[in-house]
Structure 1
Amino acid sequence: MPKSKVRKKAVYTAPADRRTPVKVKQAGPSHPIYITVMLGIMVLGLAWLVVNYIAGQKIPFMASLDNWNFAIGFSLMIAGLLMTMRWR
């Protein structure tokens, strides 16, 4: 069986007047204070949970928070984790 003829199409290129160069601002590395705060918030959340497990009933304000201690500790750790997305 004979092959059919294939038409070749020209490759599309956008007109030059529609292509405008976009300048991308290069972001530098994160400030050391940002990294310190990020790690500090994560460690503070972890420390909050550890203290809650070890001595939570002996500390009056932690005993009054009861199960909210888990929300506070995990919220601090998640806040530090979300900060890692902006870290360069």
Structure 2
Amino acid sequence: MPESKGRDRKAVAYTPPRKSKAAEPNPSWWAPTFVTLLVVGLLWIVVYYVSEYKYPIPSIGVWNLAVGFVLLMGGFIMTMRWR
């Protein structure tokens, strides 16, 4: 039966690359800001519907929905990067 040649003693063993630094925590203003954006966006849309499309800014009409959704999406995107 043939014998195995074995491993070369001079070969350097594989060492995996070092991982980068751990992710830094968010600043202290991060969580209150995204919660505020979520709440203000929700209230903006609710006020628009409850006031029968007259408020919060009567001159922009249906764009009030866009403003509310932009605020909501800004808060939601911030929640995705929260550590």
Cα deviation per residue 1:18-51 (whole Å; 9 max; x = unaligned)? 9673341112432331000011011110011111
Task: Give SS of 1:73's match.
Answer: helix
Aligned 1:34-73 pairs, distance under 5 A: 34-55=30-51, 56-57=53-54, 59=55, 62-73=57-68
Cα deviation per residue 1:60-85 (whole Å; 9 max; x = unaligned)? x6221111011000111011101111
Distance 1:29 1:20 in 2: 26
Q: Report how many residues are paired.
A: 72
What runs of 5+ residues in structure 1 fail to find an aligned partner? Answer: 1-14
From 72, 80, 83, the counterpart of 1:85: 80
Identity of aligned residues (%): 37
Task: Give SS of 1:50's match.
Answer: helix
Distance 1:50 1:20 in 2: 54
Aligned 1:5-44 pairs, distance under 5 A: 21-44=17-40
What is the TM-score with the length of structure 2 in the denominator? 0.69
Distance 2:63 2:80 in 1: 26
Q: Which has the higher helix share?
A: 1
What runs of 5+ residues in structure 2 fail to find an aligned partner? Answer: 1-10
Distance 1:22 1:38 in 2: 33
Query: What is the identity, as a one-letter code, of the residue corresponding to 2:81?
Result: R
Distance 1:32 1:42 in 2: 17
What is the TM-score with the length of structure 1 in the denominator? 0.66
RMSD: 2.4
Distance 1:22 1:68 in 2: 50
